């Protein structure tokens, strides 16, 4: 389907983008030399400046926000203060930027709301300036506006609220960033973009729509979207315009403004304390002008002279840099009726109409109109987002928000986190975006970590949980849907990595970091819950009874669940990859091969595997060597599936599995090799010596013990074991990830074993976990069908990213260790036979 889109403003580029994504052959016409329409960016004195589209918020621009987030556009808070200066400051002069100077106008608003009427001063010093500023039109036009249209707009944009208004934002690197990204997307999908190409007319007949442009060239299309001002659309239709098209499109009125970019302070309020982002100047009777102070609107900082944009000044400003003329639709009863009658003309002759004039006249309205027109042409329904409810925290939640944001502003020394209460390329950035528009930015100064994450807070419970439960509160809040991320793939991973980087930065500068435990949580407000969780964990110590219960809570969830995200081998431990895009199954086979070769197994050996999982290692070892194999597990579900797989492989003569604790192994029976792959993490700190004592008692004199286990850095181990965390509480109850030193100490205390080989394969675990996460999230419907909730899915998503961040940041390790007794010439006597490596 070949479609023409006329007009390269927001409506045009969005409709073209929507069509191109659907596979349409799109040609986009724009008479100017650039795309974007009112999104006009210019460059002066080394500074990029926006002249038209400047500000937006998350409440009243939800579809614009979704577009920006999908394109990865960086945003930052803006200043939306207003000042009014009448008769050169002699009649009335006030500004809202500096707080107290705007108190009187709050009284005007309150009086207006209570009395349901307008005082004369309210009209001249507030209502007219605000409306004139919003719609860029003179005083006499404002008083002709439809009261219904104005009040509807004010209510929609929260202008009738004294408190709790949404926070306004601006595109961090100016609006040409989003326009350029949309252009790149269009060109990558084969869209032809013809800038500097003015369309003269659009004709419609049975064959389609003919567009006459440029040097009178004609081109036939199957459909046409006219994303231009309503009067311009009528002009292009010419004599072919139907009665309905003339009636509907003719109802929309416009005002046209001369716009000057300049640096003339005379067009600002006389009192510098009243200077605001928007500055309305004029007499109480006639001439008015509006000046935007770009330095505060667009966060430019101080410059030698301010960058100002003035609409319709009485004279040409001094230090003028650029003049521009543009039109803007204004509200009226006729326009409101016409927008409701659009279906009388929409698509009737293969021509579709869209523009900001179909709403209040702003960017969000133009974007929505473009989406609706494009989807209508495609014959599809259009999912237009409605304004989200503004978040209103309780008094306690407000206090929690203040506490958490202050903590983060001090804690985030490196990396960047943005909090957006339901987003930005900053070096070292974290952003919170609240539902309803407020944004908090936490930007570090250290260059250790250049990650960014943007959090969307959907419920104020987020702040309370984080304040009272610290890291576990963060996890619980995510699991319950109190917040999410703009970047669905890497947002959570980046957040955890930012927290890790800042934790380690603080620890490296602190002499007290080794004295921490459950009694000294990162947030002192979480002390009670920290104690609760720790003692709850302490009650789950791995006695014979508790060990089976702890293992069952994880591994007996459902064999079908694990089969959905593991590879075909059902191997649930760190793989070893050769390339970034290697298949997970191949990487797991490589890891198994490493264990077999490091254990130096032959067909005469009898092997013991402590923690045999679903039997993947046993099956592969016996297939390759023909040895005898015993595997033990505490999971009934694992035992059933492992025995079934062995029977299917025809290896039941060589392999046997037992439901048994390692402490129940008879010391009279000896094994030539013992392998334990990622089981020692379930042993627990207090039982580590017991584990090695048991291994000592059942290992043949010339035998080898091969371990693979996840490990913490020694400097964090004591703090970790004396507190609870997400993994202990939600994923592996009773777990305790040891440090390498703790393993060596327990080995030395309870056995004659010594270390023969050590290799850290931890960096491969990041890739392994990302494979599991991808598989898991792709199978959400099947997981739900097994009876698991969305909360369960979010819990495991958090688990995968929480662990992946540790391995990617190299603050967690995963070791393969070969242990033997001194004098073991039989197994290790060949000087020319070394241990294989994952490298």
pLDDT one-digit tens code per residue, 627-681: 999 999 999 999 999 999 999 999 999 999 999 999 999 999 999 999 999 999 9
Categorize the per-residue pLDDT at 361 as very low, low, confident or very high, splitting at 50, 70 and 90. Answer: confident
Query: 218: closest CA among 228, 208, 229, 206?
Result: 208
Classified as helix, coil or strand, 243 is helix
CB of 274 closer than 8 Å to CB of 286: no
pLDDT at residue 416 greater than cutoff 60 = no
The predicted structure's pLDDT at residue 100: 42
Q: How far is CA 551 from CA 29, 125, 225, 444, 545, in A?
A: 64, 71, 62, 41, 10
Distance CA 787, CA 763 (A): 34
Position with higher pLDDT, 445 vs 663? 663
pLDDT in tens, 597-632: 999 999 999 999 999 999 999 999 999 999 999 999
Query: 707: closest CA among 663, 761, 766?
Result: 761
What pTM did the predictor assign?
0.75
Domain 564-821 has CATH 3.40.630.30: no
* DSSP output for 388-431: PPPP---HHHHHHHHHHHHHHHHH-SBSEEEEEE-----SSEEE
Categorize the per-residue pLDDT at 684 as very low, low, confident or very high, splitting at 50, 70 and 90. Answer: very high
pLDDT cut 90: percent of the chain above it: 61
Query: 502: closest CA among 436, 417, 435?
Result: 417
The predicted structure's pLDDT at residue 485: 92
Q: What is the mean pLDDT of the chain?
A: 86
Distance CA 165, CA 559 (A): 50
The predicted structure's pLDDT at residue 452: 86
Classified as helix, coil or strand, 629 is strand
The predicted structure's pLDDT at residue 162: 46
User: Which of the residue ranges 11-20, 152-161, 712-721 would you say has the lowest mean pLDDT?
Assistant: 152-161
Question: Residue 586 burial by CB count (10 A; 0-12/13-18/19+): exposed, middle or buried?
Answer: middle
Question: Residue 546 burial by CB count (10 A; 0-12/13-18/19+): exposed, middle or buried?
Answer: middle
Helix axes 790-808, 763-778, angle to 10 degrees: 160
**470-489: average pLDDT:** 93
The predicted structure's pLDDT at residue 129: 60
Q: Within 13 Å and on the Cβ side, how many CA atoms surround 119?
A: 14
pLDDT at residue 112 greater than cutoff 50 = no
Categorize the per-residue pLDDT at 776 as very low, low, confident or very high, splitting at 50, 70 and 90. Answer: very high
Categorize the per-residue pLDDT at 88 as very low, low, confident or very high, splitting at 50, 70 and 90. Answer: low
Categorize the per-residue pLDDT at 106 as very low, low, confident or very high, splitting at 50, 70 and 90. Answer: very low
pLDDT at residue 582 greater than cutoff 90 = yes
Categorize the per-residue pLDDT at 165 as very low, low, confident or very high, splitting at 50, 70 and 90. Answer: low
pLDDT at residue 701 greater than cutoff 80 = yes
Q: % helix / strand / coil in the chain, to the nearest 5?
A: 45, 20, 35
**95-106: average pLDDT:** 51
- Among 163-177, 456-470, 589-603, the range with the most confident prediction by mean pLDDT is 589-603
Q: Where are the domains of the chain?
A: 395-511, 525-555, 564-821
The predicted structure's pLDDT at residue 587: 97
Residue 278: what are its φ and ψ, rounded to 5°?
A: -110, 130
User: Which of the residue ranges 245-254, 443-452, 478-487 would you say has the lowest mean pLDDT?
Assistant: 443-452
Position with higher pLDDT, 21 vs 156? 21
| Contacts for 793 with CB less than 8 Å, ≥ 6 apart | 776, 777, 780, 783, 784
pLDDT at residue 360 greater than cutoff 80 = yes
pLDDT at residue 765 greater than cutoff 60 = yes
Find how far residue 713's CA is from the centre of its chain.
Answer: 29
Q: Which two tokens stand for residue 63?
A: 């579809």
Categorize the per-residue pLDDT at 141 as very low, low, confident or very high, splitting at 50, 70 and 90. Answer: low
């Amino acid at each position: 389907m070949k479609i023409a889109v006329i007009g390269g403003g927001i409506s045009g580029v969005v409709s073209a983008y929507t069509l191109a994504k659907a596979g349409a052959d799109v040609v986009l016409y724009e008479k100017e030399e650039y795309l974007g329409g009112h999104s006009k960016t210019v460059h002066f004195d080394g500074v990029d400046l926006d002249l038209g589209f400047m500000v937006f918020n998350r409440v009243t621009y939800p579809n614009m926000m979704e577009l920006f987030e999908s394109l990865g556009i960086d945003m930052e808070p803006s200043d939306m203060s207003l000042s009014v200066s009448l008769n050169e400051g002699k009649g009335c002069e006030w500004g809202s930027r500096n707080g107290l100077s705007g108190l009187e106008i709050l009284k005007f608003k309150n009086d207006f709301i209570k009395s349901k009427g307008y005082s004369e001063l309210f009209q001249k010093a507030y209502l007219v300036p605000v409306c004139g500023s919003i719609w860029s039109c003179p005083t006499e036009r404002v008083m002709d506006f439809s009261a219904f249209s104005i009040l509807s707009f004010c209510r929609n944009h929260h202008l009738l609220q004294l408190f709790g208004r949404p926070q306004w934002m601006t595109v961090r690197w100016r609006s040409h960033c989003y326009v350029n990204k949309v252009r790149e997307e269009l060109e990558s999908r084969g869209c032809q973009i013809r800038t500097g190409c003015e369309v003269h007319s659009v004709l419609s007949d049975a064959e389609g729509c003919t567009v006459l442009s440029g040097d009178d060239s004609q081109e036939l299309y199957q459909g046409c979207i006219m994303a231009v001002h309503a009067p311009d659309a009528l002009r292009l239709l010419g004599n072919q315009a139907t009665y309905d098209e003339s009636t509907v499109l003719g109802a929309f009125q416009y005002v046209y403004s001369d716009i000057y970019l300049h640096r003339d302070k005379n067009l600002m309020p006389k009192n510098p304390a009243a200077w605001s982002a928007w500055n309305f100047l004029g007499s109480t009777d006639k001439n008015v002008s509006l000046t935007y102070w770009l330095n505060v609107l667009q966060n430019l900082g101080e410059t030698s002279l301010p960058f100002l944009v003035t609409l319709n000044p009485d004279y040409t400003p001094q230090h003028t840099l650029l003049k521009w003329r543009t039109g803007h639709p204004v509200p009226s009863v006729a326009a409101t009726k016409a927008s409701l009658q659009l279906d009388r003309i929409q698509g009737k002759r293969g021509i579709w109409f869209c523009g900001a004039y179909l709403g209040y006249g702003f960017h969000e309205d133009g974007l929505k109109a473009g989406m609706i027109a494009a989807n209508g042409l495609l014959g599809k329904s259009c999912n237009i987002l409605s304004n989200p409810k503004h978040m209103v925290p309780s008094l306690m939640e407000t206090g929690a928000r203040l506490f958490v944001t202050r903590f983060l502003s001090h804690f985030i020394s490196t990396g960047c986190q943005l909090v957006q209460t339901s987003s930005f390329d900053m070096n070292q950035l974290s952003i919170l975006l609240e539902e309803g528009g407020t944004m908090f930015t936490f930007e570090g100064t250290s260059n250790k970590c250049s990650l960014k994450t943007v959090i969307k807070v959907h419920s104020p419970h987020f702040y309370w949980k984080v304040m009272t439960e610290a890291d576990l509160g963060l996890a619980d809040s995510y699991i319950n849907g109190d917040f999410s991320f703009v970047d669905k793939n890497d947002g959570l991973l980046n957040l955890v990595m930012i927290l890790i980087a800042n934790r380690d930065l603080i620890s490296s500068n602190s002499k007290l970091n080794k004295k921490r435990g459950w009694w000294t949580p990162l947030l002192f407000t979480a002390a009670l819950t920290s104690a609760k969780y720790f003692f709850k964990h302490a009650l789950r110590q791995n006695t014979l009874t508790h060990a089976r219960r702890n293992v069952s809570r994880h591994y007996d969830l459902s064999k079908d669940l694990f089969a959905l995200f593991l590879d075909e081998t059902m191997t649930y431990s760190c793989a070893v990859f050769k390339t970034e895009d290697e298949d997970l199954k191949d990487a797991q086979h490589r890891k198994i091969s490493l264990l077999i070769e490091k254990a130096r197994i032959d067909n005469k050996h009898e092997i013991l595997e402590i923690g045999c999982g679903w039997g993947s290692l046993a099956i592969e070892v016996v297939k390759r060597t023909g040895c005898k194999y015993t595997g033990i597990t505490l999971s009934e579900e694992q035992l059933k599936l492992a025995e079934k797989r062995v029977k299917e492989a025809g290896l039941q003569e060589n392999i046997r599995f037992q439901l048994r604790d390692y402490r129940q192994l008879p010391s009279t029976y000896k094994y030539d090799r013992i392998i334990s792959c990622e089981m020692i993490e379930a042993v627990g700190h207090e039982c580590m010596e017991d584990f090695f004592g048991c291994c000592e008692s059942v290992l043949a004199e010339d035998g080898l013990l091969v371990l693979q286990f996840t490990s913490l850095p020694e400097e964090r181990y004591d703090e970790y074991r004396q507190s609870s965390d997400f993994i202990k509480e939600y994923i592996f109850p009773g777990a305790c990830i040891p440090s390498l030193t703790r393993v060596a100490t327990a080995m030395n205390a309870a056995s004659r074993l010594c270390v023969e080989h050590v290799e850290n394969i931890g960096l491969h675990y990041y890739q392994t976990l990302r494979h599991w996460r991808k598989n898991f999230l792709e199978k959400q419907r099947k997981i739900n069908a097994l009876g698991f909730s969305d909360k369960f899915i979010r819990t495991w998503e958090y688990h995968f990213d929480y662990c992946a961040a540790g391995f990617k940041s190299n603050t967690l390790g995963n070791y393969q260790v070969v242990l033997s007794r001194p004098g073991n010439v039989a197994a290790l006597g060949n000087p020319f036979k070394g241990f294989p490596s994952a490298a």
